[in-house]
Amino acid sequence: MDRGQTVETERLILRPPSPDDFGALHRIFSDAVTMSFWPVPFTEEDTRRWISRSLHDHEETGFGRCPVLLKSSGEVIGDCGIMRAEIAGEPEYDLGYIIHHPFWGNDYAVEAAEACKRHAVERLGIRRLVANMPTAHAASIRVAEKISMRWEKTFRNPRNRYIETHLYALVAA
C-alpha cells in the first residue's frame, strides 16, 4: 500500500499498521491453530517486531504487510501485503496472507490477496509477485491459484524449518 493509503474491497479494509494494532494482531499471531504452518506462534516480541518492520517497510518503500479488517465491524481478522524478501535464494516481492482461523472458509484471504496483487501490478508497477507456502498448506495454495498465480517450483525453505515449500508466481505483462 502507498504510504498511509488504505485499500478497500467489498468486505475488507487493508491499511498500514499502527502500534495500536498490537493486541489484535498478537491474538492472531500467537494462536497455535492460525499459525500452524509457521515454525512457531509469535511471542509478544515477535508481534512487536512484525509491527515495527511493517511500519518501516511502508515508510521506506510505500508498501508492506497490513492488518486486514472486516468493514462490517472494524475487527482485525488477519494480515496481508507485500514485502521484499529473499525466497529460494532470490530477491522477490513476496505476497503474504494470514487469516485468523475463526474466519477461515469465507474467502477473506482470496479477497485480500487479490486486492494486494492488483495494487502491486497497477499502482506500484511490480511485474513479478510471488507467494510461498508449505506444500501441505492446501488452503494457501488455493488462494494463490484463485488469484491467478502459478506454481513455479518446490524448495526446502530455510526460513521455515527447511520444510518443502511451494513457490507460486505471477508475472505481469
Q: What is the pLDDT at residue 32?
A: 97
Mean of pLDDT over the chain: 94
Answer yes or no: are the C-beta atoms of 39 and 157 closer than 8 Å: no
Q: What is the pLDDT at residue 122?
A: 92
CA angle 138, 141, 144 (to 5 degrees): 155
Which residues on adjacent β-strands are paired with residue 78?
A: 68, 99
- Whether 152 is in a domain gets the answer yes
For the chain, the maximum distance between any two Cα atoms, rounded to a whole number of angstroms, is 41
- Whether 2 is in a domain gets the answer no
Share of the chain above pLDDT 90, in %: 90
DSSP symbols for 70-88:
ETTT--EEEEEEEEEEEET
Q: What is the pLDDT at residue 20?
A: 96
Q: By residue range, what is the domain housing residue 93?
A: 7-171
Rounded to whole angstroms, how far apart are CA atoms 18 and 112?
A: 19
pTM reported for the whole predicted model: 0.94
- Whether 50 is in a domain gets the answer yes
Quote the number of domains for the chain: 1
CATH number for 30: 3.40.630.30
- pLDDT digit string (tens) for 26-48? 999 999 999 999 989 999 999 99
